[in-house]
Amino acid sequence: MTRNEGLIFERSSPGKTGMELSALDVPPVSAKELLGEEFYRSEIQGFPEVSELEVVRHFTRLSTWNYGIDTGLYPLGSCTMKYNPRVNETVAALEGLATDHPYTPESLAQGCLKVLAQTARCLIEITGMDAISLQPAAGAQGELTGLLMMRAYHKDRNEQRRYILVPDSAHGTNPASVTIAGYEARNLKSNDRGCVGLEELGRAMTEEVAGLMLTNPNTLGIFEDQIQEIARRVHAKGGLVYMDGANMNALVGVARPGEFGVDVMHLNLHKTFSTPHGGGGPGSGPVAVKKILEPFLPAPIIEEDAEGFYRVNHDRPKSIGRVRAFYGNFGMAVRALAYILAYGPQGLRQVTEDAVLNANYVLAKLRSAYELAYDAPAMHECVFSDRRQAQHGVRTGDIAKRLIDYGFHPYTVSFPLIVSGAMMIEPTESASKAELDAFIDAMLSIAREVEEDPQIVTSAPHTTRVTRLDEATAARKPVLRWKP
Amino acid sequence: MRYLPNSPGDRTRMLNEIGLKSIEELFNQIPEELRLKRPLQVPGPFSEQEILEFFREAAKESSHEYVSLLGAGVYQHYRPVIIDVLLSRGEFLTAYTPYQAELAQGTLQALFEFQTLITQLTGMEVANASLYDGSTATNEAVLMAMRVTRRERVVLARTLHPEYREVIRTYLQNLGVKQVEVPYAPSGQIDLAQLESNLDHETAALVIQSPNFFGSIERVREIAAMTRKCGALLIVAVPEPLSLALVKEPSEADIVCGEAQSFGVPVAFGGPFAGFLATREKFVRQIPGRLVGQTVDSEGRRGFVLTLVTREQFIRREKATSNICTSQSLCALAATIYLCLLGKQGLKRLAEHNLAKTHYAAKVLASVAGFEIPFTAPYFNEFVIKTPDHAVDLLETLREGKIIGGLELERFYPELKNHLLLCVTEVVRKADIDRMAEVYRRFGSHSRTQVTEGELQAAPAGEKD
């Protein structure tokens, strides 16, 4: 039954509804008269008509075809699929926090403003930076915001710079954001340790370069241990260092980017700070900066006066402007703050320790069966290559699909691009040893299958509602909506 | 700590198995001088009970006991309980972006339904699986129009949401794009004569909003004809898409974008929301953001996948159509559930209620001597009212009676001193409007006296329905 839930439109029949309205307490009007023939619309063609129970069953059934963190281990590298505490949902839904309008007068919105200000204060302490904006709606928007600020900084000093250096191991959003910011991305080849090499950097870092975008730990899960020297060299040429904070789960409470020489960075509240991914958003991508970049932060910013009253300051003449309407994804700030409060100082450090321990445990247990991309200790994630399995015609994507049959969500497939057939595993602190052992057993078992019966791997998954989907046809002849 | 599943013993065993003696050794890669030697200075740890207390305290310092007539891009509509019941299912809430389609058919099918609903509402042929919010969706529409037309001049209506305009300005500031703003006419709509003289063959796009920031409905058909003549794309932003249940869909536009917050997404001090973007089929390869497509599995069963991914940053990197990596799936799911619940009839009836209440408020409030409705165009659930005297005093007096009486337009339009933007949705009761009229009368041109506190408190704000 639940395997055959059609589209909601296919359940529709005229006259049904899933919600009734309260009685109208003002005189009814004629929409046709008020709006006039020119503007009046008589119906929305094709719109569904179903009852409340049908809606409940429809979406409940759909949900059973999904896999979430609540379902089981979700070792998706670079995505930090940690537990999303349920109390965070409860507090984000509180009347007053979920119901205040962004144009509520300051004096009546002190609760919301306080939550934003306290979240900001905690994130500044955690990153070791000097100031922050919570406005960017997601990590990629945080990147763009940071780049626009770098641009504004150089412009303010009457400098024109064209390029941003981006290591080849970076997330795809980095070079994409560079383009949108009006810069050109220059690829920086990683060295044989999978890191930014000083020589390569020296060659690329000229006075035409506005800065370097660096992920640390990088996407291989390796800490860029030359970071101070890298920053020194970028600064020596008048450039700035942007840190993609996607991997902050390896650092919270252990090290602070503000002390590495980083000038600007973004955080992903939906990764490090446990706000739910929700099947692909909403996220939140606060941008933290050092003093020199503070004047350029998106406007407005929230300030606390001597009496403890929170004010919204729009008077920011050097600001790059708004990147999103209102205050950004406020609801995500509520959840992130609830996360920080739950753990406190020691707890936050414990999270990092557990996340790094778990990744190193997986690395140690799988390296006999799978080839490590770079033989270095892991931070919060580890990256293998499918090179050995490829000899049997099995690729990283096949192994990922076979993991589904073993009851796990796959790791991240084929990223970073500099690793042939990458298998990127990030267990996070939320995986118990017992779960990791089961995952490791599954991976080892698949490695044996690859040698003994590769076909069972290449035809996986075998246990899901649908088997492998034809992506080529979907792209060639796009069907993007239901039609009667 | 309650969220962490490993015991101290587990940790020791794991350390032993990987051949390390202490946790500190895990961080040997980080240069010694970069390691933090002190605990972070953040509050906590808090029990669950303490967390609840902390946020309940903060939530008290809010406007939750007030009746609010604020709209302006964020709309207070009743949210059926079913939405949160379904959203709280962990399979939806805690899933990642559906790259592994076989494990994410629930999210994918729901987003496919969202795309369908948006095309039906907007009269467009294709819609994406959502963007951050209305402001960024409108900006993405502008960037898309520039890609399609290969032109670098953008014309914006002054009646486009001021914060949307600010976002566009931020994004375009380094791309060498010319931006022109077209004023509004006495009707409250875009000035068509001014518009015509501002459109030229270098224009990539005209961006209008309808209903616009003043609530006025724009003449999309005429504007589309003017835009088409010069080869530019017409972008229509719709921050209040409930209007589309009664107001003719802007099907003459090239891109329709906007904000789906009205459909069951909490106001939440401005976010998270869900932007939408819909367009014609011929532009499908220039759409930013996620797209869900229908396909079949190896046994011929219907299924859904993320598709046309070659537009996206993780494949195209610096040549991508956009740097956007996420949609707002959970908010889009809320909107999908909401629209399914209301359905064709329910949404229309709700829109009629909004229209009736708004026109009741406009009639009652503007009939007070000294108050007037300055714009003449038809409106849906928002309108502008001109007050005789200091609007700020009126708003303050209303606040004493637990009413947030709208938005002062002077904040965004210096020329509109003493003009308020009012939004009247189904959550505002007739009694609230009548109570407002009472205060209005005190401020009216003939009988300006102080309102006593007693009069206002005689009719306290009730529960919102």
B196 part of a folded domain = yes
Q: Does residue B448 have a pLDDT over 60?
A: no
How confident is residue B327, by pLDDT bands cut at 50, 70 and 90? confident
Asked whether residue B391 falls in the same domain as residue B425, the answer is yes
User: What one-letter code names the amino acid at B29?
Assistant: Q
Length in residues, chain B: 465
**Domain stop point among B337, B364, B384:** B337
Q: Which residues belong to CATH 3.40.640.10 in chain A?
A: 87-340
Across the interface, of A7, A79, A176, the residue whose CB is closest to B96 is A79
B35 part of a folded domain = no
The phi and psi torsions of A422 (rounded to 5 degrees) equal: -65, 145
Asked whether residue B401 falls in the same domain as residue B438, the answer is yes
Q: Does residue B427 have a pLDDT over 90?
A: yes
3-class state of residue B436 by DSSP:
helix
Q: Does residue B399 have a pLDDT over 50?
A: yes
3-state helix, strand, coil in chain B (%, to 5): 45, 15, 40
Asked whether residue B439 falls in the same domain as residue B385, the answer is yes
- Count of other CB atoms within 10 angstroms of residue B398: 23
Separation in Å, CA of B186 to nearest CA in chain A: 18
What residues make up the domain containing B420? 67-77+345-457
Asked whether residue B363 falls in the same domain as residue B332, the answer is no
Torsion angle (degrees, nearest 10) of CA B5, B8, B10, B12: 150
The answer to whether residues A328 and A284 touch, using CB atoms and an 8 Å cutoff, is yes
Cβ burial, residue B210 (10 Å; 0-12/13-18/19+): buried
Q: Does residue B258 have a pLDDT over 90?
A: yes
Across the interface, of B116, B318, B360, the residue whose CB is closest to A9 is B116
Residue with tokens 């206002």: B456
Q: Which residues of B touch A298 (CB under 8 A)?
A: 170
pLDDT of residue B446: 54
Asked whether residue B163 falls in the same domain as residue B234, the answer is yes
Question: What residues contact residue A177 under an 8 Å CB cut-off, 6+ apart?
Answer: A140, A143, A144, A147, B323
- Count of other CB atoms within 10 angstroms of residue A220: 27
Asked whether residue B241 falls in the same domain as residue B205, the answer is yes
For the structural domain made of A87-340, what CATH number should be given?
Answer: 3.40.640.10
- Count of other CB atoms within 10 angstroms of residue B309: 18
CB-CB under 8 Å, B268 with A330: yes
Q: Which residues of A touch B410 (CB under 8 A)?
A: none
CA–CA dist A285, A288 (Å, integer):
10
Q: Does B327 touch chain A (CB under 8 A)?
A: yes
B447 part of a folded domain = yes
Q: Does B63 touch chain A (CB under 8 A)?
A: yes
Residue with tokens 């795309």: B115
Q: What is the CA radius of gyration of chain A?
A: 25
Whichever domain contains B425, its CATH number is 3.90.1150.10
Q: Does B166 touch chain A (CB under 8 A)?
A: yes
Nearest in space to A249 (alpha carbons), one of A359, A123, A361, A355: A355
- Most B CBs within 10 A among A66, A106, A396, hence the mutation to make, goes to A66
B115 part of a folded domain = yes
Q: Does residue A3 have a pLDDT over 90?
A: no
**Domain stop point among B337, B364, B387:** B337
How confident is residue A320, by pLDDT bands cut at 50, 70 and 90? very high
Structural tokens at position A243 = 């840190």
Asked whether residue B280 falls in the same domain as residue B392, the answer is no
Maximum pairwise Cα distance, chain B: 87
Output the CA torsion sign for A390, A395, A396, A401.
negative
**Domain stop point among B337, B357, B391:** B337
Asked whether residue B256 falls in the same domain as residue B285, the answer is yes
Structural tokens at position A374 = 């770079």
Q: Does residue B314 have a pLDDT over 90?
A: no
CA–CA dist B9, B381 (Å, integer):
62
pLDDT of residue B450: 45
Torsion angle (degrees, nearest 10) of CA B68, A97, B409, A305: 130
CA–CA dist B90, A81 (Å, integer):
13
Asked whether residue B143 falls in the same domain as residue B283, the answer is yes
What is the percent of chain A where pLDDT is above 70? Answer: 99
Domain count, chain B: 2
Strand partners, B292: B306
CA–CA dist B250, B237 (Å, integer):
10
The phi and psi torsions of B204 (rounded to 5 degrees) equal: -80, -45
Asked whether residue B318 falls in the same domain as residue B370, the answer is no
B16 part of a folded domain = no
B51 part of a folded domain = no
Q: Does B129 touch chain A (CB under 8 A)?
A: yes
B13 part of a folded domain = no
Q: Does B285 touch chain A (CB under 8 A)?
A: no
ipTM over 0.90: yes
pLDDT in tens, A364-410: 999 999 999 999 999 999 999 999 999 999 999 999 999 999 999 99
Q: Which residues of A touch B11 (CB under 8 A)?
A: 353-354, 357
Nearest in space to A135 (alpha carbons), one of A314, A338, A339: A314
Structural tokens at position A174 = 């980095």
pLDDT in tens, B169-217: 999 998 889 999 999 999 999 999 999 999 999 999 999 999 999 999 9
pLDDT of residue B465: 37
CB-CB under 8 Å, A89 with B34: no
Structural tokens at position A294 = 């503070």
- Most A CBs within 10 A among B96, B169, B251, B395, hence the mutation to make, goes to B96
Torsion angle (degrees, nearest 10) of CA A353, A356, A359, A362: -50
pLDDT in tens, A372-385: 999 999 999 999 99
Q: Does residue B454 have a pLDDT over 80?
A: no
Report chain A's mean pLDDT, rounded to a whole number: 96
Across the interface, of B29, B105, B308, the residue whose CB is closest to A475 is B308
CA–CA dist A120, A337 (Å, integer):
9
Residues A289-298 have a mean pLDDT of 98
Strand partners, A303: A311
Q: Does residue A76 have a pLDDT over 70?
A: yes
B322 part of a folded domain = yes
Residue with tokens 């118990």: A432
Q: Does residue B120 have a pLDDT over 90?
A: yes
Structural tokens at position A140 = 């990629």
Asked whether residue B223 falls in the same domain as residue B324, the answer is yes
Asked whether residue B333 falls in the same domain as residue B365, the answer is no
- Count of other CB atoms within 10 angstroms of residue B123: 18
Q: Does residue A150 have a pLDDT over 90?
A: yes
The answer to whether residues B218 and B378 touch, using CB atoms and an 8 Å cutoff, is no
